[in-house]
Amino acid sequence: MMAYTPMIQQYLAVKADYKDAFLFYRLGDFYEMFFDDATRASQILEITLTSRDAGMKERIPMCGVPHHSAKNYIDTLIQKGYKVAICEQTEDPKQAKGVVKREVVQVVTPGTVMEGKNVDQKSNVYIAAVEQLAQQYGFVYLDLSTGEAVATYIDGDVKDVFQQLQSLQIREVVVSPELYDEWLELADRYAIVLSIAEKQVADAKEYIEDIPTHLHAVAKRLLHYLEETQLRALSHIQPFTFIEVQSILKIDANSKRNLELIQTLRGELKGSLLWLLDETVTAMGGRKLKQWIHQPLANRTAIEKRLQTVSHLMDSYFIRLELQTLLKEVYDLERLAGRIAFGSVGGRDLAQLRASLRQIPFIREQLEESGHEQLITLSRQMDDCQDIEAFLSQAITDHPPISIKEGDVIREGYNAQLDDYRYASRNGKDWIAQLEQKERERTGVKNLKIGYNRVFGYYIEMTKSNVHLADLTRYERKQTLANAERFITEELKEKEAIILNAEEKSLELEYTLFTEIREKIKPFIPRIQQLASQISELDVFVSFATVAENYQFVQPTFHDEQALKIVNGRHPVVEKMMNKSLYVPNDCILTTDENMLLITGPNMSGKSTFMRQVALITIMAQMGCYVPADEAVLPVTDQIFTRIGAADDLAGGQSTFMVEMMESQHAIMHATERSLLLFDEIGRGTSTYDGMSLAQAMMEYIHNEIGANTLFSTHYHELTTLEQALPRLRNVHVAATEQDGKVVFLHKVKEGPADQSYGIHVAELAELPKAIISRSRELLANFESNTQSGEVQVIEKIVEKIVEVPVEVPVKEQVKESSDQLSFFEAQEAVPALTQEEQEALNKLRSLNVSGTTPMDALQLVYQLQQTLLK
């Protein structure tokens, strides 16, 4: 290392502490990168890769970005999952002896980014930490930009941990070195940045006093990582709030994706539940709504309290409209508080804070006028922070510039010394304007002007054609140009000193005063954050009331039993995206004695939509929102699991069927009697008989072992016979009819099983070539005919082999005599002339428990034996 130049030695020393980050090393007006950082960054950022002499024989790779536009490049790296360590000059180059001193002032990571294109106004940016405990995992997460912090537990294994991380859209996870090595591959698969924090903060009492002792260590690890990367006080981080697992409706990441809660399966906002419900007018309200969608409540009292608030706002139409108008004038108080704590707040930010606080008395007044106890209580709980507003009104101008170094941020009258400097500067400029007019009159040169530049200061300029008109004894020539002459006078020089000195001192003092104001505001951050939380909740409640009125939603009611009753329920998003008059509503009735529905019907008939709408109504209700139905009487659900849709996991090397089985396993292993299960066409990813077997086995297990409310759709019509074997299962179907040879979907859920699938009709609607449609109908007729005759032939052939005589007894009667069949099998050991394949078929029949075999299992076995014996 000693062979490198002193500057490169300094770079390498700093880089050694930040091996997992791109080091932005400040050199003058650029941030430079060297060695591997330069090679990789030039490719990722698409910037030119150069080289420089570093004291060695070979030049080293180098690339750089201008410091004024570095933010855009940093955003790009963060978006791609990288970290950036920002190394600034911390010493005046003029006073440096040798290499200018430099230090890393901040490490920007995917989970700690505070602003820029990676930060959506209505989305949180979460960083989390996870610690393995004896029986579960300790889990904490926070948003550095708002200071919100949460602590809870995760039950299950490491896959459940990553399901939760993905569900909450956590961007970065901090773990111990041991877990880092164990989890790195899994984190890459889930596209989550994994980071190491070897230590914990020594003192975090103010942050962790309200959470269980078992979670202290993981919270301290996260706080240490933040201190280590941000390198500044984090006074805006709020104490961790503990969330009991039982208090929220758990929805895993797969179910959120399948139900399209936050975005559609195509990754778009439009068409999601969030898109439908978001009538919020503040950024804080938008984030709060998203949090409530991620974690609906599972506590009946808390749910009904939210619903009551929405009900009051529904009753107060004009007050609701006035509240929306007032809330539109409230800026993002949470992130303003974060920028105050970080020291990055500007004059315009403080003006926005002041403007927001000015709206609070009017918001409180509207809540008081509502006459509803809950809204009045909310008003009285609000701290309007008028002392903060008064201080900012006294200190900050009405329209401050973006940069605090441009001046005109501090209001006149706030500081007497600043007012004196400003007066001197302003008075001097007025004097110069008057001097210019006076010199024009004295010389008769109408285009004479007084200008200024940084090299010569103030000067009097005349064109060369007019110089002869002036009394040059009064002027001192300063500069000759091609077409003009510039002069100064003693009087102008004296005034220049006063003006420039006053301007310089004014800007310096104003910057000092602003930093003092910023520090005076910091103690008020907890009060601002508390107010922000109340305003964000009010914004969501107003949004719920607005949506309920716009789309004629109704207030759901809850009970402590398991039964579910939805009358004329609708899928809210589908209804909004299509003509409402065309949407066909449907009932969903589940009772304690019949809480499983087996749904049959053709493709495109609306089975999946019906299932999704039940889940969405449950989620909306437990968020505290009205629901799309004529009536909804619901149980409090603890978890929702869905197995809807089909997709390969190419990155994980898993087929559609494997993904289906893994999601089904997750649901079955975690569901309770209070859960809601939605299974759409389980088993379609494998062979028909495998699929039917798995589907039936799952339904039997859920029915007998779990007892959860379940909606199960299928194309396997053979499964409808389970209604006779499973007492709590009921068949329903989505109706369709045939007119003029074409299928017409009625989209109405009716009792009983479907009579046919209409698969070829759907293909015809998709406009497959007529030749294919025609051939399909021929093949279908042959398959149906062959299946019926084939079953008879195979059983006849088996029996012929067994008794060595033609069988005259009808097959159905023969099968009924199960005891006789078994006796035939027992006596058949000595029968000769059987091939190996035939013998294996007979062995299967010997081991079969006929009385305990379902019709579907019998059909599957007959099919397998037929394939064997008819070869």
620 appears as a binding residue in the annotation: no
Task: Determine the straight-line distance between the first and last CA of the chain, rounded to whole angstroms.
Answer: 78
Single-letter amino acid, residue 322: E
Q: Which two structure tokens, joined as six digits, stand for 319? A: 């007050």
SS3 712: strand
Residue 338: enclosing H or E segment and its boundaries? helix 333-342
For residue 759, list its beta bridge partners: none
Q: Are residues 150 and 237 in contact, defined by beta-carbon separation less than 8 angstroms?
A: no
- How far apart CA 507 and CA 406 sit, in angstroms, is 7
On whether 124 is known to bind a ligand per the annotation, the reply is: no
CB atoms within 10 A of CB 209: 10
Nearest to 160 by CA among 673, 644, 666: 666
β pairing state of 631-635 and 557-559: parallel
According to the annotation, is 602 in a ligand binding site? yes
CA distance 50 to 62: 5
Report how far residue 419's alpha carbon sits from residue 341's, in angstroms, rounded to the nearest whole number.
Answer: 28
Q: Is 286 annotated as ligand-binding?
A: no
- In the 3-class helix/strand/coil scheme, how is 343-400 assigned residue by residue? CCCCHHHHHHHHHHHCCHHHHHHHHHHCCCHHHHHHHHHCCCCHHHHHHHHHHECCCC
Q: How far apart are alpha carbons 863 and 658 in whole angstroms?
A: 25
Q: b/e string for 44-66 if b means 16 or more Cβ within 10 A?
A: ebeeeeeeeebeeeeebbbbbbe
Strands 457-463 and 449-453, by their bridges, are antiparallel
Tell me if 195 is assigned to a ligand binding site: no
Strands 84-89 and 60-66: unpaired
The owner of tokens 């409402």 is: 580
Q: How many CB atoms lie within 10 A of CB 764?
A: 18
Q: Are 661 and 696 in contact (CB under 8 A)?
A: no
d(CA 236, CA 242): 18
Determine if residue 605 is labeled as part of a ligand binding site: yes
Is there a binding annotation on residue 1? no
Burial class (CB in 10 A: 0-12, 13-18, 19+), 36: exposed
Tokens encoding 564? 């579910």
The secondary structure of residue 757, as a DSSP letter, is -
603 is known to lie in a ligand binding site:
yes
Q: Which residues are annotated as a binding site for ATP?
A: 601-608
Q: Which residues are annotated as a binding site?
A: 601-608
